[in-house]
Structure 1
Amino acid sequence: MASHPFFEGLTSPRILAHRGLVTDEMREEGIAENSVAAIAAAHAAGAEIVESDCHLTSDGVVVLFHDDNLQRVADDPRALADVTLAELEQIMSTRGGLATLAQALDAFPESRFNIDVKAAAAAVPAGEIVAPHASRVLLTSFSDKRRKTALAAARRAGGSPATSAGYSVILRLAAAVRILPLADVIRRILRGIDALQIPERSGPIRVVTERLIAAAHANGVEVHVWTVNDLDDMRRLLDMGVDGIVTDVADRALAAR
């Protein structure tokens, strides 16, 4: 299985706390996902891996935030790229506290982070920030271009984090597994990939199949499925052989594990 240091010593199956952990009680208090409070709650619940997302503020700081604007979190239409760090800190001060990528890595040294690069402008600075923490960071993005840019920046800065495939690699792999399951073709597609993080389905198409899981495992690649919040669905997927579950209810998933 996966050999990158990121995976060493982790409990199986992997439970990845999706954007940290926000319980119903925390949500009633106005705590937001990806906040310092959400990361702390995931850590307190026993989650070894926190899944988060990053954007770049207008003054060049990499922050943990999913959306490219503030509408959903703060009822503010501005784009993240148009907001300064100070402004975002003020907005998040009543929502659990803003987490920059650098601060999160420093403040939670026992946690491992699955970082999804959401903005092209964040790719290089994010890669440079995670470089000293490469053994406990898995970099990913829907965009393989962004993912590779962040990885290259990390490596130039002296670190080599783990990485999860982007959309184009997953499409090629799914087609290869379904249409022409040749071992050498699959091996080339998965070269340099440590994990596949995929939905169970994409519309009517089933993405997670036993054949895809077997192909990934044959190449030392883990399979993590997102975003799964039903415990029965988690058990069913784990019985199929997936290695990890990305979930909003990490506390419940960890208790069930």
Structure 2
Amino acid sequence: MRKSLFPVLMCFTCAFFMNSLSAEAQSSDDGSILLSDYAYTPEDNLVGTIVIQGAEDASAEDFVLRGDNAGKFKIKKGNQLFIRGKYAKSAEKWVDLAIGTADGQLSADFRILKDQFHTNGVIAHRGAWKNTKVPQNSIASFEEAVKLGCEGSEFDVHLSADSVTILFHDRDKEGLVIEKTSYKDLSEERLSNGEVLPELVDFLKAAMNQNTTKMVLEIKPSAVSKERGIALTEMVVRQVREAKAQAWVDYISFGYDICQRLLELDPYANVAYLNGDKAPSEVAADKLFGLDYNQKVFREHPDWITEAKEQGLTLNVWTVNKAEDMDWFLEKEFDFITTDEPELLLEKVKK
């Protein structure tokens, strides 16, 4: 039987795409305009510090504000970006702003967000799906987490064979290996609520309609190669930037190389490590945001809880579904608890 050229062509195309993406991302590591933060509150109108990645010594005069909303902001000493007081107190949930260099060589668009995120530490695992009967890792499960008032909603991102970033937890869907199957084939069967298998770009757009629940974006390591996992990481960061979603997104991953690459691409991103095999001192030395370990790890290494706090790391734990376990981690004053039972955990934190 004559063999089809499709798998060969797909592999060649994916390899070419990943090499091109990696080269593009590598070249953009330096020379990009970044913000150290993207949000303000009515009480604190400091947004963040403007930097050129790789040239942090730029002065305030090097930057200009552009666009219809430029007059709502001002740059102060040390490249600090402020939203003007009356706009910080307005009803707007976000404001779009373009920032460029005075010589016109660099420019970037940002969505500056009014920070009204909940601070209850409740992270809905794959969204709020279990008690709402909606699919995991769906737009609907994120929306249910928002309705509940969760601080964050976690979801998983894979790369399909034709390099589409999609939301799904397992490595295979209905017997189809995600990394070896096209998005068209993966999405032929809709989710149980009729929703199409979400692409990341569509999910970001839908989740940015509010400013109370954060996206906790898990980048899945590749089973094919580490290079493919890095290519996924670079694509995810690019799509988050293009969507102007930085204020909404925190990152997590089981791949330490992925965590490190995230911080190379955006040194100000909140990045936490999932695998549970590194002590807090090592994670802190690499400037990660926090530990996000399975509850068994923290019970086996209770000293890591104290050490993490001393190192200035945040503490998240997964997946905590029993009431007595929730009580234990609440008593230990964890910053976040990831759960399939956000309703129960919310009841506890409100007491």
RMSD: 2.7
Percent identity for Structure 1 against Structure 2 = 23
1:191-217 Cα shifts (integer Å, max 9, x gaps): 311121011214xx83451x3222212
Change (3 A) 1:50 1:67: same
Match of residue 101 from structure 1: 200
- SS in structure 2 of the partner of residue 152 of structure 1: helix
Can you list the C-alpha shifts for 1:55-97, whole angstroms capped at 9, x where unaligned? 0122221111111101xxxxx2111123333333332343452
Which one has the largest radius of gyration?
2
**Equivalent position of 1:222 in the other structure:** 314
- Report the equivalent of 2:247: 135
Does the Cα contact within 8 Å between 2:157 and 2:218 map onto a contact in 1? yes
Q: Does 2:339 correspond to 1:241? A: no
- Partner residue, 2:63: none
Q: Distance in 2 between matches of 1:11 and 1:253?
A: 14
CA 1:68–1:150 in structure 2 vs 1: closer, same or farther (change >3 Å)?
farther
- Is the contact made by 2:262 and 2:271 (CA closer than 8 Å) also made in structure 1? no
What is the total number of aligned residue pairs between the two structures?
225
Unaligned runs of 5+ in 1: 71-75, 175-185
2:86 matched to which residue of 1?
none
- Per-residue CA deviation, residues 8-66 of structure 1 (Å, 9 max, x unaligned), is 7654441100000113451xxxx421012211211111112111111012222111111
SS at match of 2:288: coil
The corresponding residue for 2:236 is 126
CA contact (8 A) 1:135 1:162 kept: no
Alignment gaps of 5+ in structure 2: 1-35, 40-114, 223-228
Q: State the partner residue of 1:21.
A: 128
Question: Matched residues in 2 for 1:12 and 1:195: separation?
Answer: 16
The residue type paired with residue 22 of structure 1 is W
Partner of 1:256, secondary structure, is helix
Aligned partner of 1:182 in structure 2 is none
Mapped partners of 2:348, 2:38: distance in 1: 26
- Taking a change above 3 Å as real, the CA distance of residues 239 and 220 of structure 1, as seen in their structure-2 partners, is same
After TM superposition, the score normalised by the length of structure 2 is: 0.58
Question: Which structure shows the bigger proportion of residues in strand conformation?
Answer: 2
Matched, 1:231 2:323: yes
Does the CA-based 8 Å contact 2:289-2:313 persist in structure 1?
Answer: yes
Pairing of 1:1-257 with structure 2 (within 5 A): 10-24=117-131, 26=133, 31-70=134-173, 76-95=174-193, 97=195, 98-109=197-208, 110=211, 111-118=213-220, 119=222, 120=229, 121-131=231-241, 132-153=244-265, 155=266, 160-167=268-275, 170-173=276-279, 186=281, 189-191=283-285, 192-202=287-297, 206-207=299-300, 209=302, 211-257=303-349
**Structure in which a larger fraction of residues adopt helix:** 1
